[in-house]
Amino acid sequence: MTVGRFAPSPSGRIHLGNMLCCLLAWLSARQKEGRVVLRIEDLDTARCPRRYAEQMEEDLRWLGLRWDEGPEVGGPGGPYYQSLRNDLYQAALERLQDRGLVYPCFCTRAELHASSAPHREDGQVIYAGTCRALSSAQAAEKARKTGRSPALRLRVPEEEISFTDGHMGFYQENLARECGDFLLRRSDGMFAYQLAVVVDDAAMGVTEVVRGADLLSSTPRQLLLYHLLGLKPPAFYHFPLLLAADGHRLSKRNADAGLESLRGHCTAEEILGKLAYLAGFNPSAEPRDAESLLQDFSWEKVPGEDICIPPTLFS
């Protein structure tokens, strides 16, 4: 059975891009007569207080995008808040450590983002392996001098990792050259997204991941972790991003694209109908509920390029 998921990060009120992600994930799973899991990605509890998560859950219910497993509903894969799942991440980390695949990194954020450091096109730093060859004694000395705990990085192989995305097609990366050894746990003890999402999707039986194209480049890292941990990866579907009328990416700071503003003058059906129209599978911007969109949804209709929201569409 297909098991899809919503996995929002509750750092503020959801915006149109988040809503499109949840709609596509819901439709893609439901069209295959599958189930939907809701997981709250609140690893950073300072930025993601529980009240934001509870508001997000209420917003999704208001939109009519209900889940089969998750907060309130329950299920075998809980708990459904990442902040309560650290023991699972620690166990996975220790499995990788036991194989000698993890090492401590003492590089500061300033050092990583120095102008001389190599960067990807998307702005991410390509880690140069500065701490990769530290001996145990050298690591202990750095810990003593800096007075802080190190981050932990995964040693990545010099090889191509590829997959075929269900919407975007073939994609590959050589992680050693295009990413470098990536974080598994930050110096403050917070587990990294790449590790947490792999552990959670596998533990919750997720077979299909739908998310924005900005996370396409994360997939080879996650596929490597699936392989190293002996876990079966899901199918991936990445979709184009919604952009504001001026071409900028939406964020929770875009008040006019947030549900707090939209609920004041739009019904749930109006929002879903317009999102489906932008995504190519509603013939017009007429109001639609999620169930009625099942008959028209297909990945073939969804554009491959980012989508600008017309300035008056949701006004």
Q: What is the pLDDT of residues 164-206, one digit of tens each?
A: 999 999 999 999 999 999 999 999 999 999 999 999 999 999 9
Token couple for 263:
């609920």
**C-alpha to C-alpha distances, 247 to 68, 77, 155, 254, 301, nearest whole angstrom:** 35, 39, 37, 13, 22
- At 116 the pLDDT is 61
Q: Is 209 within a domain?
A: no
* Contact residues for 276 (Cβ-Cβ < 8 A; gap 6+): 23, 282, 288, 293, 296, 297
142 as an active site residue: the answer is no
Same domain, 94 and 52: no
Same domain, 251 and 277: yes
285 half-sphere exposure, CB direction, 13 A CA radius: 13
Q: How many domains does the chain have?
A: 2
pLDDT band at 102 (very low <50, low <70, confident <90, very high): very high
- At 256 the pLDDT is 53
- For the segment 93-116, the average pLDDT, to the nearest whole number, is 89
Per-chain mean pLDDT for the chain: 93
Q: Is 222 within a domain?
A: no
* CATH number, residue 41: 3.40.50.620
pLDDT band at 7 (very low <50, low <70, confident <90, very high): very high
**Predicted TM-score of the model (pTM):** 0.94
Same domain, 91 and 190: yes
Does residue 219 surpass a pLDDT of 80? yes
Choose between 15 and 120: higher pLDDT: 15
- For the segment 106-135, the average pLDDT, to the nearest whole number, is 81
Same domain, 99 and 173: yes
Catalytic residue among 142, 145, 252, 301: 252
Q: What is the pLDDT of residues 66-78, one digit of tens each?
A: 999 999 999 999 9
Q: Is 14 within a domain?
A: yes
Question: Which amino acid belongs to residue 305?
Answer: E
Which structural domain range is residue 48 located in? 3-84+240-308
Same domain, 61 and 100: no
Token couple for 4:
């899809």
- At 215 the pLDDT is 96
pLDDT band at 26 (very low <50, low <70, confident <90, very high): very high
Same domain, 272 and 304: yes
Does residue 119 surpass a pLDDT of 70? no
The share of the chain scoring above pLDDT 90, in percent, equals: 83
Q: Is 301 within a domain?
A: yes
- At 253 the pLDDT is 60
Boundary of a domain, candidates 195, 219, 249: 195
Same domain, 72 and 153: no
Does residue 153 surpass a pLDDT of 70? yes
For the chain, how far is it from start to end, CA to CA, in angstroms? 40
- For the segment 13-40, the average pLDDT, to the nearest whole number, is 96
Q: Which of 76, 161, 145, 83 is nearest to 108 (CA)?
A: 145
Q: What is the pLDDT of residues 267-312, one digit of tens each?
A: 999 999 999 999 999 999 999 999 999 999 999 999 999 999 998 8
Q: Is 219 within a domain?
A: no
- At 111 the pLDDT is 83
Q: Is 122 within a domain?
A: yes
* CATH number, residue 98: 3.90.800.10
Boundary of a domain, candidates 140, 170, 195: 195
Same domain, 122 and 177: yes
Q: What is the pLDDT of residues 241-273, one digit of tens each?
A: 999 888 888 766 665 577 888 998 999 999 999
Q: Is 232 within a domain?
A: no
For 67, counting Cβ atoms within 10 Å of its Cβ (0-12 exposed, 13-18 middle, 19+ buried), the class is buried
Question: Which amino acid belongs to residue 92?
Answer: A
* Contact residues for 254 (Cβ-Cβ < 8 A; gap 6+): 15, 244
Same domain, 111 and 186: yes
Q: Is 183 within a domain?
A: yes
pLDDT band at 115 (very low <50, low <70, confident <90, very high): low
Helices 50-63, 268-278: axis angle to 10 degrees equals 80
pLDDT band at 117 (very low <50, low <70, confident <90, very high): low
Same domain, 44 and 97: no
Same domain, 50 and 136: no
Boundary of a domain, candidates 165, 195, 225: 195
Same domain, 91 and 170: yes
